[in-house]
C-alpha cells in the first residue's frame, strides 16, 4: 500500500506526509490482522485489503482539495 500511495501522490503532484509505524511498542496497540492502515486527514480511509490505484487517487485528490 505504501508504494501505491507514494506513486499516486507523485503522479498527481500532491505533497503529502507519510508516517511509517514499525516499532513493537506502537504496533502492539493495533490488531495485526487489520494492518496496513491508511489514514488521510486524520481519518481511517482504508485498512487490510490493498487499495486499487483509482481509490488512492480519489483519496489523495479529495484530501488535497480540503487542505
The structural domains of the chain, with segments of one domain joined by +, span 2-66
43 bridge partner residues: 40
Residue 25, pLDDT score: 79
User: 3-state SS of the chain?
Assistant: CHHHHHHHHHHHCCCCCCCCCCCHHHHCCCCHHHCCEEEECCEEEEECCCCCHHHHHHHHHHHHHHC
Residue 11, pLDDT score: 93
Q: What is the pTM of this model?
A: 0.67
Residue 12, pLDDT score: 92
Residue 36, pLDDT score: 76
Digit-coded pLDDT (tens) for 6-65? 898 899 998 888 777 777 777 777 776 677 778 777 777 777 677 888 988 998 898 888
Residue 65, pLDDT score: 85
Amino acid at each position: 500500500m505504501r508504494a501505491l500511495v507514494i506513486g499516486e501522490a507523485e503522479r498527481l503532484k500532491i505533497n503529502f506526509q507519510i508516517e511509517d509505524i514499525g516499532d513493537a511498542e506502537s504496533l502492539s496497540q493495533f490488531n495485526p490482522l487489520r494492518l496496513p492502515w491508511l489514514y488521510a486527514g486524520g481519518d481511517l480511509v482504508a485498512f487490510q485489503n490493498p487499495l486499487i490505484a483509482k481509490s488512492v487517487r480519489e483519496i489523495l485528490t479529495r484530501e488535497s482539495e480540503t487542505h
